[in-house]
């Protein structure tokens, strides 16, 4: 049978990049597949998906603000228009299966599909289910999750523990070590700390580093500090130009695999995609969850690792005072590093994209046989 798939959702990289990875895995396993993405107008998926080589259609849907705004008054009209457009898309494209990865756009298209008895698959990246996925989960054929104990949010019978799809270039880091040390001008005899707060950056992590970067350098720690684009100018003016001391202050890193390959300790936020990469890389990690996310889901993501002895958690409110000391304690404790590394590796799912693609194909084939 010819496989026709709609992949819906987006809004953030944490939704978009797994969606693209799933699409790539579907194409790799089935050459006779048509894939259409559905996103939200004006959101980043409208640029990132075409860059990956896929067609995307935008819906006028948007989220609801937590305060009373004019945009909230427009929401019912945007929803009605999005549902109507979603219905038209399903009628014209005729998908065998619809995948929802979370985000505004997955709501209308998944809801229409379920009401037309078209099978749906949900991919939930976080340890806390998003609102859209919770609403739609009861009628999904399969729900692919990245954390244990998700039966609190979804029917246990449809849950598959697949993990989150991530880039495959971080699976084998040993081959990247030599190039990594050379690229950053670091010595393999000294420990390397990697600090990152996402592409835009995290103020708490940057302020914590500003408070203690000299203390780290004095202790012989080599540092790659990704400030994020938003904060780079401020911190580069103050701390840049100290590469000879072992400090690199950068806005953004493209070749993350080379940084992971040489890192002894990593400090970062606990977004779903970052955690999935760290699990594959097997790196001793200190997580500082962002408090500025829906339902505090980053803390829940982090605690899923902490409860397995796979990471250390420092609360955002405590980071400025405690983070540097936690880093130094871990840098100097090789036994703790080994323990964290072994535990976090057990949570890695290197075949996540292929496993999700298999679930999608199985769901489509069962439905096809049932009605043909």
Both tokens assigned to 26: 């579907």
CA distances in angstroms from 298 to 20, 284, 341, 353, listed in the order given: 22, 18, 20, 22
Q: CA-to-CA distance for 311 and 345, rounded, in angstroms?
A: 11
- 159 annotated as ligand-binding: no
Please spell the DSSP secondary structure of 290-304, one letter per residue. Answer: -SSSGGGHHHHHHHH
Region of 283 please: left (phi>0), alpha (psi -120 to 50) or beta: beta
Handedness of CA 79, 85, 91, 95 (dihedral sign): negative
Question: Which residue in the block uniquely carries the two structure tokens 């840049």?
Answer: 240
Strand, coil or helix: 242: coil
- Asked if 9 contacts 340 with a C-beta cutoff of 8 angstroms, the reply is no
Strand ranges of the sheet holding 142-145, from the earlier edge strand across to the other edge? 55-59, 33-40, 3-8, 97-100, 120-124, 142-145, 159-161
Both tokens assigned to 120: 């749906």
- 253 annotated as ligand-binding: yes
Strand, coil or helix: 272: helix
- 126 annotated as ligand-binding: yes
Cβ count within 10 A of residue 29: 15
Q: CA-to-CA distance for 34 and 6, rounded, in angstroms?
A: 8
Handedness of CA 300, 267, 234, 200 (dihedral sign): negative
- 80 annotated as ligand-binding: no
- Asked if 232 contacts 261 with a C-beta cutoff of 8 angstroms, the reply is no
- 16 annotated as ligand-binding: no
- 66 annotated as ligand-binding: no
Strand, coil or helix: 312: strand
Residue stretches of the annotated binding site: 12-14, 126, 167, 199, 253, 298
Residue stretches of the annotated binding site for UDP-N-acetyl-alpha-D-glucosamine: 12-14, 126, 167, 199, 253, 298
């Amino acid at each position: 049978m010819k496989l026709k798939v709609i992949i819906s959702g987006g809004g953030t990289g944490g939704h978009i990049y797994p969606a693209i990875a799933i699409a790539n895995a579907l194409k790799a396993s089935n050459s006779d597949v048509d894939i259409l993405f559905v996103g939200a107008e004006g959101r980043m998926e409208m640029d990132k998906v075409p860059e990956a080589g896929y067609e995307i259609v935008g819906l006028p849907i948007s989220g609801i603000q937590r305060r009373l705004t004019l945009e909230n008054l427009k929401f019912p009209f945007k929803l009605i228009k999005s549902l109507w457009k979603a219905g038209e898309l399903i009628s014209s494209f005729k998908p065998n299966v619809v995948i929802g990865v979370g985000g505004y756009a997955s709501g209308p298209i998944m809801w229409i599909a379920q009401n037309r008895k078209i099978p749906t698959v949900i991919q939930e990246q976080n340890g806390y289910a998003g609102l859209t996925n919770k609403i739609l989960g009861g009628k999904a054929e399969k729900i692919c999750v990245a954390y244990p104990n998700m039966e609190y949010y979804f029917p246990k019978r449809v849950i598959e523990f697949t993990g989150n799809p991530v880039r495959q270039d971080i699976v084998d880091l040993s081959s990247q070590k030599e190039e990594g040390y050379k690229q950053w001008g670091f010595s393999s005899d000294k420990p390397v700390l990697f600090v990152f707060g996402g592409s835009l950056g995290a103020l708490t992590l940057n302020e914590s580093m500003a408070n203690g970067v000299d203390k780290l350098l004095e202790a012989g720690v080599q540092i790659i500090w990704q400030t994020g684009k938003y904060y780079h100018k401020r911190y580069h003016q103050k701390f840049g130009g100290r590469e000879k001391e072992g400090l690199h202050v950068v806005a953004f890193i493209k070749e993350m695999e080379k940084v992971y390959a040489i890192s002894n300790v990593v400090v970062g936020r606990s977004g779903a995609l970052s955690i999935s990469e760290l699990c594959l890389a097997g790196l001793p990690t200190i997580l500082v969850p962002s408090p500025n996310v829906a339902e505090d889901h980053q803390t829940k993501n982090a605690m899923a690792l902490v409860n397995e002895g796979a990471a250390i958690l420092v609360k955002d409110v405590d980071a400025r005072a405690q983070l540097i000391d936690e880093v130094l304690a871990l840098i100097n404790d090789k036994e703790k590093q080994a323990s964290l590394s072994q535990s976090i590796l057990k949570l890695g799912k290197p075949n996540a994209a292929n496993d999700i693609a298999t679930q999608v194909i199985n769901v489509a084939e069962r439905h096809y046989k049932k009605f043909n």
